[in-house]
Amino acid sequence: MKSKNLKWSTRFNNKSIDDEYRWAGVEDPKIMITTARDPSSKLKQFAKANE
């Protein structure tokens, strides 16, 4: 099996990179709280208090 010559680009297209910190400090993060299928009473209270 022959190996193919691949050209690797060292430049990145900004549109193709996921920048999770792009909006840091600009807007508050969105928090999602999930519960188990059969949550305990304490977990239900926590989820309800943080809606």
pTM for the full predicted model = 0.35
Exposure class string for 1-23: b at 16+ Cβ within 10 A, else e? eeeeeeeeeeeeeeeeeeeeeee
Q: What is the DSSP letter of 15?
A: G
Cα Dmax for the chain: 62
Which pLDDT does position 2 carry in this prediction? Answer: 55
Q: What is the pLDDT along the chain (51 residues), one digit of tens a residue?
A: 555 655 555 555 556 666 777 778 888 877 777 777 888 898 888 878 877
